[in-house]
Chain A
């Protein structure tokens, strides 16, 4: 159960290898979290992480095979996790692919595939999680959206639009859960230095997984609906959102 100060006892990560998610999980385990389930494409690769989390004090650590691109399997896998591990206080929906806009332009099918993972997979997995949280009467689904979806820009509009769709879905799902005890928290990081962005030029306000994880933990404590990381991005984007298109094209050109 989540306690009065927002500490949680169990967490499920969808996209179990995500650096942002694992940094968050480490912080949760450093507090009261004892159950960790990592759902990932290649669970075997997480053996080291499992050992590390156990050493840090988690008593029930498990990995499960999960592919965002196989939506037909999501309900069964997620129901199975809730069945096997009991209450899950927090679910981090963290999987995602960034891709490369030029490659998407050259191979439209691969663009649709990215949308299928980032958005389509999140819809089937998010709905299956919501169903379980509703039944359980409590719990928070944390959705890793992105500022890239807040205002989509031309040099990554496939990724950006997948996050715009995801963000809208997550807000709507959150609204539909009001009164059920379950909640959705939307997280909108800016540019984060992780393996996803390795080798890329950092955007303004670039940040680290540690800062994003702290923002997530604080958001859980304060029962926030939306978290920006770093927090200034909230104000930056409230301005950027309203720029006229020609100005936006210039500002977002990198």
Chain B
């Protein structure tokens, strides 16, 4: 156990905790024993942008040593994995066997525990829902109940309080979930480059149902008539006969590695307004106006950023943050206004994604709800950023939307409460399973959840 400074992926608000590194699921469960005064938090791969995986002055359990497959049914595609297993590892093991994770975020470096705690979503949300829609059971350790198996049938309250419950309802030790069958490790992708926001939203509204995966990359540095211009990528897994003869020899081939490490101490502000504007311009121009049936690999389609190791250092010492909202279908005007506000502001944003969500699930603090979700990368030292985001938060709330906890590092507690209508229900479950408030973290303190 050592005292370490921890931040989230955005590298913004470091705090110190005693970090322990359990090497098995049992050691992980033991992490709740003899809790220190300032409590215990789990930390997966630290890919949340803000502060949910840090616990100032308390204990942090690094879950990544509790990893590996516990059970695998290759006929049904049902797997049980230790909570610290990364989606990266799962893909390496399972893709060659013809199975894919049910949901993948924009990075494969997240753990199964982190996937549950934020009930993560991917490009298939409109059809498949989020991670916990595919979660069949988990083994948990709660302060009040010890080690228990939780399914949607055995304890629906605890199950759905844990789905998106940012780790505050108990430690997830392992999880059993349904995989998705694949014939090949390639995707067939259709790309449309759109002039503006209206065009991309219209295309998604009209055509997303025909695709399993859909997401738009939106250029928030574009101004004037081009505000909201986007590249819409939509696709599905390929069948064997859609691959080239060479690819058909090993249709499930899977290679994924980080290729370009960021310099350890990145030049201050590698990503500044100039470089980001240039990047966006190139990214947009490079995309074809309209292309059909392009074949791409899993990493190229799902995890383009993972090709650059530690890219989060590119924003320099001030760090950065993400802001991700969802507004209901029908609130297109609000979304347009938000996109315009970012485009008009002095903020620098490299990776901005627009997606149309399908129905949400029973997760009490689960983020997705039917509507439009936009996520924006922002340098933390952009002038006027705090005020801009506070204003946009209010617009999101007024439209009946909310913000994503996995990305949050600055919203007001009242914004959280107003966006998550089932917060009180969630609090009641937390009181039952953790009456003494042993599970703690910085985000929980900041938003008044603990």
**Complex interface residues of chain B between 361 and 387 (CB less than 8 A to chain A):** 380-381, 385-386
Q: Which residues of A contact B380 (CB under 8 A)?
A: 4-5
Q: Assess A4 versus B12: contact at CB under 8 Å? Given A135-B57, A136-B38.
A: yes
Q: Which residues of B contact A136 (CB under 8 A)?
A: 38, 56-57
Interface size on B, residues (CB 8 A): 30
Check B17–A7 contact: CB distance below 8 A: no
Produce 1/0 per residue, B1-45, CB < 8 A to A: 001010000101111110000000000000000000010000000
Check B410–A180 contact: CB distance below 8 A: no
Query: CA–CA, A216 to B385, complex, Å?
Result: 18
Instruction: Give the one of A3, A7, A31 with max B CB within 10 A.
Output: A3
**Complex interface residues of chain B between 43 and 63 (CB less than 8 A to chain A):** 50-51, 55-58
Q: Assess A7 versus B386: contact at CB under 8 Å? Given A32-B412, A135-B57, A180-B3.
A: yes
**Complex interface residues of chain B between 312 and 326 (CB less than 8 A to chain A):** 318-319, 321
CB < 8 Å neighbour of B13 from A1, A31, A180:
A1
Question: B448 to chain A: closest CB distance in Å?
Answer: 9
Q: Which residues of B contact A221 (CB under 8 A)?
A: 381, 386
**Complex interface residues of chain A between 126 and 156 (CB less than 8 A to chain B):** 135-138
Check B57–A5 contact: CB distance below 8 A: no
CB < 8 Å neighbour of A181 from B56, B389, B412:
B56
Check A179–B386 contact: CB distance below 8 A: no
Question: B53 to chain A: closest CB distance in Å?
Answer: 14
Question: B138 to chain A: closest CB distance in Å?
Answer: 28
Nearest residue in B to A32 (C-beta to C-beta)? B412
Check A9–B446 contact: CB distance below 8 A: yes
Question: B268 to chain A: closest CB distance in Å?
Answer: 13
Q: Which residues of B contact A5 (CB under 8 A)?
A: 12, 321, 380, 385-386, 389, 409-410
Check A180–B16 contact: CB distance below 8 A: yes
Q: Assess A137 versus B321: contact at CB under 8 Å? Given A1-B442, A1-B446.
A: no
Q: Which residues of A contact B385 (CB under 8 A)?
A: 5
**B290 interface residue, CB < 8 Å from A?**
no
Query: CA–CA, A152 to B15, complex, Å?
Result: 36
Q: Which residues of A contact B14 (CB under 8 A)?
A: 138, 181
Query: Dominant SS at the B interface?
Result: loop
Check B3–A179 contact: CB distance below 8 A: yes
CB < 8 Å neighbour of A3 from B55, B56, B58, B410:
B410
Check B57–A138 contact: CB distance below 8 A: yes
Nearest residue in A to B410 (C-beta to C-beta)? A3
**A234 interface residue, CB < 8 Å from B?**
no
**A222 interface residue, CB < 8 Å from B?**
yes
CB < 8 Å neighbour of A87 from B10, B51, B389, B445:
B445
Query: CA–CA, A221 to B446, complex, Å?
Result: 16
Q: Which residues of B contact A138 (CB under 8 A)?
A: 13-16, 56-57, 442
Query: CA–CA, A6 to B14, complex, Å?
Result: 11
Check B410–A137 contact: CB distance below 8 A: no
Query: CA–CA, A182 to B3, complex, Å?
Result: 12
Check A179–B16 contact: CB distance below 8 A: yes
Q: Which residues of B contact A27 (CB under 8 A)?
A: none
Nearest residue in A to B385 (C-beta to C-beta)? A5
Q: Assess A181 versus B381: contact at CB under 8 Å? Given A1-B445, A5-B386.
A: no
Check B446–A3 contact: CB distance below 8 A: yes
Question: A82 to chain B: closest CB distance in Å?
Answer: 11
Nearest residue in B to A5 (C-beta to C-beta)? B386
Q: Which residues of B contact A6 (CB under 8 A)?
A: 386
Question: B444 to chain A: closest CB distance in Å?
Answer: 9
Q: Which residues of B contact A1 (CB under 8 A)?
A: 13, 15, 51, 56, 442, 445-446
Give the 6 A-B CB pairs with smallest separation, nearest first. Answer: A137-B57, A181-B16, A137-B56, A4-B409, A4-B12, A1-B446
Chain A residues in contact with chain B, CB under 8 A? 1-7, 9, 31-32, 87, 135-138, 179-182, 221-222
Chain B residues in contact with chain A, CB under 8 A? 3, 5, 10, 12-17, 38, 50-51, 55-58, 318-319, 321, 380-381, 385-386, 389, 409-410, 412, 442, 445-446
